[in-house]
Amino acid sequence: MVGIFVRLKLRLLANGLQDTARLVGFAVGAGLTVAVTPVATIGWLRLREQPELAADVGVVVFTAVALAWIILPLGLFGTDDTLDPARFAALPLRPRTLITGLYVGAFVGLAPLATTAVLAGSVFGLSAGPGSTVIALFALALEVALCVAVSRALASALSGMLRSRRGRDLAVLVGVLIGGSGQLVMLGTAYMSGSVDLMHSAASVLRWAPPGMAARAAPDAAAGHYLVAIAGLAGAALAVTLLLWWWGRSLTGAMVTTDASTSRAARPTGRRVGLHRWQPGGRAGAVAVRELRYNWREPRRRSAWVAAVLFGGIGPFLLLRQDGAGTGGVYVVCLTAGIVGLQAANQLGIDGPATWIHVATWRDPRDIRADFAGRNLALAMIGAPILLLIAVALASIAGSAGSALGPFALACAVLGIAFGVGNVASALAPFPVPESTTNVFSGGNTGQGCLAGVVVIGSLACTGLLSLPLVVGPVLARLDRPVLAVSAFLGGIGYGLVVAWLGRYLAGAMVYGRQPELLGLLTRREAG
Amino acid sequence: MTTANGSSQPTTGAGPGGLAVRVRGLWKRFGAQVAVAGINLDVPAGRFCGLVGPNGAGKTTALSMITGLLRPDAGTIEVIGRPTWPDPAAVKAEIGILPEGLRLFERLSGLELLGYVGRLRRLPAAEVDRRAEQLLAVFDLGSAANKLVVDYSTGMRKKLGLAAALLHNPRALFLDEPFEGVDPISASVIRDVLTRYTRSGSTVVFSSHVMELVERLCDWVAVMHRGQIVAQGPLESVRAGLPLEEAFLSIVGAGDRGGDGLTWLGSSSG
């Protein structure tokens, strides 16, 4: 049975790669792996000379990799749902068989392979002698098993929460979890790369968590404590078992329950209040209102916002405390803006096959630009207040709430740039995001190689590059040239608006010429 | 039966007696598979036209190309006297579409969806709201107006999709399998609305693999088989006195395939 799942997964991946865009995504991911692996291996081999340090580094790296497996899929890329459990619901499979098959199938893919490759050096780096090498091999296997299990189990459990109506209230907690752990990894790495002592104290705590237990096993064995080593491996194995049990529970639950959060009737038109009554004229206005409703009502977008806000929202606070740079640190809110703006990177794909409704009403590129304007407007209407809140909070912590103004202005400029980049990316490489009934974090990864990841990273990189000129404002402010600085800030906002407009302009022209092709791209997955 | 065009060859145009759809030499390949193999199709304006054929005959592909949602490999298409390709914008403004699969914006309510489509079509807001309410009432969706589309049944979805396609009072309607998965009550509502619509001189082209349905509804049929139109014209001349299904089977030359190989199927087998 397991063999069937593995072959199915391989077949789905191979079929996905017949598409050029997906092939490019896969090639980029594979190239990165090939480039990073030798560097990592050399690092591991060097550590062999210093067993004490090696043990600490092992614990920290194993923990960081496991955390990355939790955060990156949930926060940015979406988990690989090539084998969508919902598709197996009608088959007479016992949960145990299903989970085993899905779990083993989950190891087939670039990400588990890359993880194994990068950590492979630890087998030699953490061991000394044949006995501990064998232990280190088991530790490596358990670490990868742990990564895959925790990523899947968490995605299923959180999906269950975010789909339900109560999930809206829980969403904040979920986000704290995702964002918080993300920041831990970022900060931890930044802290520890500078100090061996810090690394040691961190490792002395982290070694009691399952990834740490696995990492400590080989050094313990090398020191002659084989019982301790085996106990460590057993601890990690127990963690994998528990995660799989948890995954199985939430999965079987998700497969036999429906999305209850949508069965309520929408509020009748007559009693609409506040935002619900807002209905501006024009095409862009209609699209903006629809987008606002969607951001609230659709679990996938809700989860995207939660992830974006906390992924990009908690970090600045921690960075600010660490930085001690005073009010200058408030500018990290621009980073948040870049991450929030990422939601513009697949604006056509997120509508999927329903896009035909737009296609059927496009009369010229201006209509397409109006659609993008509406989408951008809706994202800005949610994103800008959040950025303002974060900027003001950061500035208050730094000592003066007034110092939020400049950073907020720049954050808005960055948001505009991100929209411009995202509009072009949406037109260039849209990927459908199939709505999974069992996983709201399902990215566009259904047999698609790494297209989603490439689009996300590429958009972030372009936004970063295009944002570089914005530095002028803060620099002038620091040089005490207030008049010039203010004009630079205003210029920055203007620049952001121009980039957003330019992206919209290009996207309109690009989409108009390829409507049938784009529609085909967005509809295709639904047939399966 | 007429295997080519109808006897009188009207000129392409919008008026009664003109052609609502005129297709010449239309081709579409997907890789090695030929979905539509050089079809010619004429549908006079004001007709209720059924595009009939088994699954995989190329009906959906043909309709997608005619309505400007799929780019043809070769051939010309005119709808209401306007070329669909290379730029389908002008045609799309004049027609209503109910595509296959019927993917709507699921997380809008029925009323919101109609309002949205109307605004995308740049109808005045007050007019959109008036028409949307009337359409929902006619299609018996009034009580579900504020329910999210994701919770609609198949029949309700088809009716809502049809309402969305009618909202801007198009001159021709193109419906892909409008009756598939629809209960008899909803089907009769859809039928009534469509009949009323064609009576005013507008054209309906719909695809179906259910011959009886086409026979009952249409006054004009085009029969598709393996990417080709094997017969088209007024219903009576195509079926030549036979039930449409028999006429179809004799046209494509299908024999009796009782399933001799399935000896294991059924509870009496060992």
- Parse chain A into domains and list their residue ranges: 2-256, 282-527
CA distance A253 to A8: 24
Whether the CB of A266 is below 8 Å from some CB of chain B: the reply is: yes
In chain A, whose CA is at the least distance from the CA of B144?
A265
CATH architecture entry for B19-252: 3-Layer(aba) Sandwich (3.40)
pLDDT of A437 reads 60
pLDDT of B76 reads 94
pLDDT of A267 reads 45
CA distance A160 to A179: 19
- Distance between alpha carbon B52 and the CA centroid of its chain, in Å? 10
pLDDT of B74 reads 94
A434, A60 Cβ separation under 8 angstroms: no
In chain B, whose CA is at the least distance from the CA of A359?
B69
Report chain B residues whose CB lies below 8 A from the CB of A262: 107, 148, 150-151
> What residue has token string 């970090």?
A315
Whether the CB of B69 is below 8 Å from some CB of chain A: the reply is: yes
Q: Is the peptide bond before B86 cis (omega within 30 degrees of 0)?
A: yes
All residue ranges of chain B with pLDDT < 50 are 1-16
Report chain B residues whose CB lies below 8 A from the CB of A516: 68-71
Give residues 267 to 296 of A whose Cβ lies within 8 Å of B.
267-269, 279, 281-283, 285-287, 289-290, 293-294
CA distance B121 to B168: 7
CA distance A528 to A15: 12
pLDDT of A227 reads 93
pLDDT of A375 reads 95
Query: Which long-range contacts link B149-155 to residues 24+ away (Cβ below 8 Å)?
Result: B149/B104, B149/B105, B149/B106, B149/B107, B149/B108, B149/B109, B149/B110, B149/B113, B150/A259, B150/A262, B150/B106, B150/B107, B151/A262, B151/A263, B152/B110, B154/B181, B154/B182, B155/B181, B155/B182, B155/B183, B155/B185, B155/B186, B155/B187
| Segments making up each domain of chain B, as ranges | 19-252
CA of A347 vs chain B CAs: smallest distance (Å): 14
Task: Provide block-wise average pLDDT over 10 residues at a time, chain A (528 residues).
Answer: 85 79 81 91 90 89 87 68 72 82 89 92 90 93 94 80 60 62 65 69 85 93 92 95 90 67 44 54 89 84 76 68 64 88 88 88 92 94 91 83 88 95 92 69 58 84 92 84 87 94 95 89 57
Which pair of tokens denotes residue A151?
A: 């990523």
Q: Does the structure's ipTM exceed the value 0.95?
A: no
Report chain B residues whose CB lies below 8 A from the CB of A298: 107
Residue in A454, A519, A383, A525 with CA at minimum distance from that of residue A21 = A454
Best of A290, A300, A302, A433 to substitute, by most chain B Cβ atoms within 10 angstroms, is A290
pLDDT of B9 reads 43
Of A283, A293, A359, the CB nearest to B119: A283
SS3 A518: helix
A2, A101 Cβ separation under 8 angstroms: yes
pLDDT of A430 reads 86
Walk across the sheet containing B74-79 and list its strands.
Answer: B33-44, B19-30, B74-79, B82-83
In chain B, whose CA is at the least distance from the CA of A297?
B107
